[in-house]
Amino acid sequence: MVAACERVGVPLDRIEDITAGCVNVAHEGMGDIGRWAALAAGFPDSVPAVTVNRFCASSLTGAINLSHAIRSGELGFGLASGVESMSRSGWAYTKGDAPFSPRGPVFLLDTMWAGAGGPPNPKLLAVNAYVDMIKTAQNVADRYGLTREEIDAFALRSHQHAAKARDSGRLALEIHPVELPASRSEPARLFEHDEGIRGDTTAEKLAALPPQPNTTQMTAGNSSALNDGASAIVLASEEAAQSLNLAPMARVVASATHALDPQYMGIAPAFAMAKALQRAKLTPDQIDVWEVHEAFSAQALGVLRELPNQLDGFEVPDDKLNPNGGAVAIGHPFGASGTRYVLTLATELKQRGARYGILGVCVGSGQGVALVIESL
């Protein structure tokens, strides 16, 4: 959060509100990790913050909320951020149905997968709304008739594009290196690359991986990895930016949300992106870069299959799609991905000398969030 402000030249005391996307606020998160992180990072006590949870689009939703406040004239500078520590998610003891129910047998739940504990809602159980995310990816694959070969091919594409972007220094443009202290086994070092990228993987290696339980085509290789990560971007009104002589990277043009049956979690971005384009008064062929979230390769392919149905037959050109790879390779720390995508898209537009970009993020429970930006 501090690095984002320093990089663009905004003093910490000029930030008027902070949003922090986070799905599982474990350990020091203590409910509102945005506020605690701001205090720990050295922001003045007067800078407020809020934690936003819309699963995978948490930080993107926070960024959109700030843009709405700026557009309404209620905010000058805002900081949208996101974080997820998937490796340190806590454990929760279950509670009974009745308030203050007597102690009895209890179960430990991994909050990364089971929420904060407690009995599941019977109405949601009846419609299988708590369906495993990897099962929804299989549902999408079945719905669009995707083959294991094309699902793995998309995963390979993600790793190859991400490896190229890493090796060329493209990804370094948007990464803030972190100094890791020495340990008993390793000296101090600079941590500056995402660990999940497998530039040496092959179609044969991916094909050899076994399907995960309750699926026929989903594997560890064609799904996004479990990651820890954080990201942040600064948003400002035109007047606020001019007051500090700042040169913005891009402007928010339009946004949209959409929701559908949780059984087909993953394809809602296709509908949200179509809505956002309509609100932006843009045609699909005017978009120079498309960022489609890759929770699973099958899910991203499902979005690409559904987009022509929503955009009068338009198909996203391969050279405009996720040019630096996606979450299958880079990883998907839930709360951090949204603002990471905004920065990735804005940076890519600048590098290409292009004008318009759109991103779409799927959300557990069957939602989708989209954002259109214009490079400046």
Q: Provide the pLDDT for residue 369.
A: 98
Low-confidence ranges of the chain (pLDDT < 70): 26-30, 96, 102-104, 113-119
Q: Which letter, b or e, does each residue of 153-183 get, where b requires 16 or more Cβ atoms within 10 Å of its Cβ?
A: bbbbbbbbbbbbbbeeebbeebbeeeeeeee
Please tell me which residue in 56, 161, 258, 293 is annotated as part of the active site.
56
| Entry pTM | 0.95
Q: Provide the pLDDT for residue 114.
A: 64
258 catalytic residue (yes or no): no
Please tell me which residue in 161, 258, 293, 332 is annotated as part of the active site.
332
159: left (phi over 0), alpha (psi -120 to 50) or beta: alpha
CA dihedral 321, 323, 329, 334 (to 10 degrees): -70
Q: Provide the pLDDT for residue 116.
A: 56
* CA dist list (Å): 92 to 98, 107, 111: 17, 8, 6
Q: Provide the pLDDT for residue 121.
A: 83
Residue 108, Cβ neighbours under 10 Å: how many? 11
The span from the first CA to the last CA of the chain, in angstroms, equals 23
56 catalytic residue (yes or no): yes
22 catalytic residue (yes or no): no
Please tell me which residue in 22, 161, 293, 362 is annotated as part of the active site.
362
Angstrom distance (rounded) from CA 324 to CA 3:
22
